[in-house]
Every structure is written in C-alpha cells, then in structure tokens.
Amino acid sequence: MDTAADTVEKPQIYLISPPSFELGRFPDQLAKVLDSTEIACVRLDLASRDEDTLSRAGDALREVCLARDVAIVISDHQILAERLGLDGVHLTDASKSVRSARKALGADAIVGSFCGASRHDGLTAGEAGADYISFGPVGTSGLGDGAVAEQELFQWWSEVVEVPVVAEGGLTEELVRSLFPYTDFFGIGEEIWRSEDPVAALQTFIKAMG
C-alpha cells in the first residue's frame, strides 16, 4: 500500500451531523450536501441519549443516505445501528469496544474508533478490527480530552499503518492544507453546518486539499 504522502488521491469527505438538529429541516440540508459532492460516509452524532430522538433521526438520515448510496454510521449506539439498519458504528471509547462491536455487528459492518491523539489507542483499535481510526481534535474543539492530534501523528500513521485514518475536530482551511497528504478522510461537521450555506462551506474545504 502506498503511503498517503505518496499518492495523488485526495482524502475523502466523512460528514458528521450536528449534535442537535431539526428533523423537519436537516435531512434536506444533508441531501443538498450529498448531491453537491462525493461523500464517503455520514455519521449521526447526536448529543441526545433519548432512544426515540435517535431512532427518528436515524430513520430520516438513513433514507437520505440510502437514496444516494452513501454509508451511514451512528456514534456508539451499536444496538440502534443494527435495529435501524445502519451501516455500522463509530465508537468514542478508543479501543475498548471494538472487538465486541465487531462481534455483534458482523464482518460487513463499519466499525470506526475515535482515539483522540493516542497513537497507542489507534494501534490497539486497529489490531482489534476497526475499519478506520479517527484522531482529533486537530484544531480548537471540545472533542476528546483536550489533547490535540498533531500533523506528526498523521504523518507517522500514513507511513507505518495501513488502517485508514480520519482527521476531525476544529478543522480550518489551513489545517486541511497541512494534513491532506497524510489522512484518508476529513471528518467535517460543525465546520459547515454552522454556515448559512453548508454546500459552499464544504467546497471551501475541498479546494484547500491541494
């Protein structure tokens, strides 16, 4: 496998939902973004722990993604991932739940693992069967424990490890320019959803990828 630094391929976009949204409005917003450019995966990342809220949101976003052949995962709730017919789960407890999620959801499901800025957790999650590792925040963000995932971590990962890697949290155009040679995906969420025109905001990030 070529390292990310050697390949001319641009990283793919991994879209993250806002922590809360209006069910009557956001699915249409998401549809416009998915129709505007190629998106690798969507993550339902609600702050709510209410099962009904999560289920209704999951149903709505699954339909939008299914119609466009885009994979959709949900943060942490592997039981809901299975029940709602989603493509997998994004785990936020580093490597702790990867094996059990893989066993529960099967070989075909997507199992991703957020590992903050920890090289060790990333390696452990990869060995446990994660399909991708997410490091972050890469910029100023409330993500994780406050430790920032530096460019050096992504550069090392791209040279040594074959498990795909996601850069997320506090992305700016400048960070995208510096990280795009070393990451497989950019996890983009609030960076575009807080804009009045998410499609245009996303295009700005895409243009920063070289």
pLDDT for the residue 210: 76
**Residue 96 in contact with residue 110, Cβ under 8 Å?**
no
pLDDT for the residue 6: 46
pLDDT for the residue 187: 98
Question: What is this structure's pTM?
Answer: 0.94
Euclidean distance between CA atoms 134 and 65, whole angstroms: 21
CA dihedral 50, 53, 59, 65 (to 10 degrees): -100
Q: What are the C-alpha distances in Å from 139 to residues 107, 110, 135, 174, 195?
A: 33, 26, 11, 10, 18
Phi, psi (rounded to 5 degrees) for 189: -140, -100
Q: Which CATH number is 12-207's, of 3.40.50.620, 3.20.20.70, 1.50.10.10, 3.60.15.10?
A: 3.20.20.70
10-residue block means of pLDDT along the chain (210 residues)? 51 98 97 98 97 98 98 97 97 95 96 97 98 96 82 97 97 97 98 97 94
